[in-house]
Structure 1
Amino acid sequence: MTDAITAPSPVTDAAAQSRAAELERNLAAARSRIAHACRAAGRAPSEVTLVVVTKTWPAEDVRTLHALGVTDVGENQDQQAAAKAAATEDLPLRWHFIGQLQRNKAASVAQYADLVHSVDRLPLVDALARGAERAGRRLRCLVQVGLDDAPGRGGVAPAGLERLADAIASRAPRLELAGVMTVAPLHISPAEAFDRLAVLHERLRASHPGAVIRSAGMSGDLEMAIASGATHVRVGSAILGTRAPRNPAA
């Protein structure tokens, strides 16, 4: 006797369809915001890459987003990122690691990430280089610039940007210096923070012209980031929502 095939629950199907419709609406709204911001800044929307940050949301959301045209997905924790990258390895996605990264996680991140946004110290450069070498992959890196002294936010001080960028570019054959990233501090306006990053980025490009990426701006301040020349914006809650599910890697 063969086992009976369990048909999908109508309730489950309805929930999946509702979630897909929600993601489609939110994604369209985010894309519209980016397009309007680009027009206001005299830029083409094609100049800005939308990185959808899925954080605690499940791999099924990543699949739905890919079906809606998303190609760039961001995560800030290695455990969740590794699980989702493995669960969606059949999809042509670019994975962005955007969170604070410990050296003991660098080898894992090097196995799946295409772009690490949060390189902020020399020991991490060495750890990523070793991980990329073992994985046989080339890893693109952004120097995270800290524009304040708040603990836990990460980022190299502006005075250390050039030295760290030089280390990525010269000490690690499998690492590529791709640009800079920042998170706007709480005590200054996002517009001012992004303008500061723009100045630092242009100075860096004088010695590293290929470091063209400027990752700045999130759900609440992407317009100001685009106005200041951001090439990548990292948008999570505006697309996926704010209430995290219980089983993020499912």
Structure 2
Amino acid sequence: MSHADPARVEQVRANLHAARARIETACLKADRDPSEVSLIAVTKTHPASDVRILASLGVTDVGENRDQEAAPKAAETADLGLTWHFVGQLQTNKARSVASYADVVHSVDRAKLARALGERAEAAGRRLTCLVQVNLDEDSRAGVIGPRGGVDPADALELAARVEEQDALTLGGVMAVAPLGGDPSQAFARLKGVADRIRDRYARATMVSAGMTADLESAVARGATHVRLGTALLGDRGPIVG
């Protein structure tokens, strides 16, 4: 492997420092301990060399949202001992591939997908942590999955039960994306309500994956345990790969 470009290392280091400072400030404002909030570096459209730079700077959690980009990148950086998070919408026919490298799947939004991931993880001898993706659009209706994915809040407990019944899956908690154009604080408050209901029934399902570069402060104020940052760390995305 060629050595990383020193200028790129310094750029990512500065971005990471700034992002961690934002998380810390948001935690202090919300009267939370910064150690309660984990940073997931979303590296979509950025090369594996950036994953190596992030790892060298102490990042252990890396996220991707497209299997065709994530699978080769995970293989290329397998020596780093990272935790891989799959955060994008997922077709059932990709379950076998994703179950082979992902440690956490954030985007489980239907029972059929939970079943497919459970079967594929079991066949691969692996265990996956799965989050129920919740649709926070105001007009979310039962059974209708919106353009960004997610189950209606009213159906989240039922889907959590479908995840929990798969032997190779561990129910980790919930994930959501703030609606476009809406108030993220209001949306994340709705998510907190869903997260609390699921945790009341499944005590270990404590993860709340919410907040991205634009709205991490609102997410932290409403109980996020994991924020997914891409642009804040690596800059604007290049062209889609693959």
Q: TM-score, normalised by structure 1?
A: 0.91
Determine the structure 1 residue equivalent to 2:75: 86
Residue 243 of structure 1: how far off its partner (Å): 3.7
The answer on 1:197 being equivalent to 2:191 is yes
The answer on 1:139 being equivalent to 2:133 is no
2:238 to 241, 244, 250: 244
Letter in 1 for 2:161: D
The answer on 1:43 being equivalent to 2:15 is no
1:158 to 153, 157, 179: 153
Structure 2: distance between partners of 1:23 and 1:207: 40
Tell me which structure has the larger Cα radius of gyration: 1
The answer on 1:209 being equivalent to 2:203 is yes
Structure 2: distance between partners of 1:188 and 1:243: 24
1:56 to 45, 59, 78: 45
Residue 245 of structure 1: how far off its partner (Å): 5.4
Three-state SS of the structure 2 residue aligned to 1:90 is helix
The 5-angstrom pairing of residues 62-141 of structure 1 reads 62-141=51-130
Change beyond 3 A, Cα 1:61–1:245: farther
Structure 2: distance between partners of 1:80 and 1:35: 31
Determine the structure 1 residue equivalent to 2:12: 23
Unmatched 5+ residue regions in structure 1?
Answer: 1-7
Structure 1: distance between partners of 2:18 and 2:181: 28
Q: Percentage identity across aligned positions?
A: 57
Determine the structure 2 residue equivalent to 1:4: none
The answer on 1:169 being equivalent to 2:169 is no
2:228 to 213, 227, 234: 234
Determine the structure 2 residue equivalent to 1:5: none
Letter in 1 for 2:83: R
Letter in 1 for 2:209: S
Letter in 2 for 1:165: A
Aligned residue pairs total 235
Structure 1: distance between partners of 2:200 and 2:24: 29
Structure 1 runs of 4+ with >2 Å offset: none
Residue 188 of structure 1: how far off its partner (Å): 2.2
Structure 2: distance between partners of 1:60 and 1:163: 41
Q: TM-score, normalised by structure 2?
A: 0.93
Conservation of the 8 A alpha-carbon contact between 2:44 and 2:237: no
Letter in 1 for 2:22: R
Structure 1: distance between partners of 2:136 and 2:120: 28
